[in-house]
Amino acid sequence: MSRPPLTGDRQYRNDVVRVADLTVNTDHIEGYQFSNCRIVGPAILALLGDVTLVGSSFDAPGLDAIFWEVNPERGVVVGAVGVRDCTFSNCAFEMIGIAGPPDMRAALEQGFN
- pLDDT tens-digit series, residues 5-38: 555 678 999 999 999 999 999 999 999 999 999 9
- pLDDT tens-digit series, residues 48-98: 889 998 998 999 888 889 999 888 777 677 889 999 999 999 999 999 999
Beta-ladder partners of 46: 82, 99
Name which residue leads in pLDDT, 1 or 42.
42
**Per-residue confidence (pLDDT) for residue 111, from 0 to 100:** 60
* Short-list 61, 64, 74, 56, CA closest to 98: 64
Other CB atoms within a 10 A radius of the CB of residue 108 amount to 17
Q: Are 92 and 59 in contact (CB under 8 A)?
A: yes
The answer to whether residue 113 scores a pLDDT higher than 50 is no
SS3 breakdown of the chain: % helix, strand, coil, rounded to 5? 15, 45, 40
Q: Specify the pTM.
A: 0.85
Reported as a pLDDT band with limits 50, 70 and 90, residue 104 is: confident
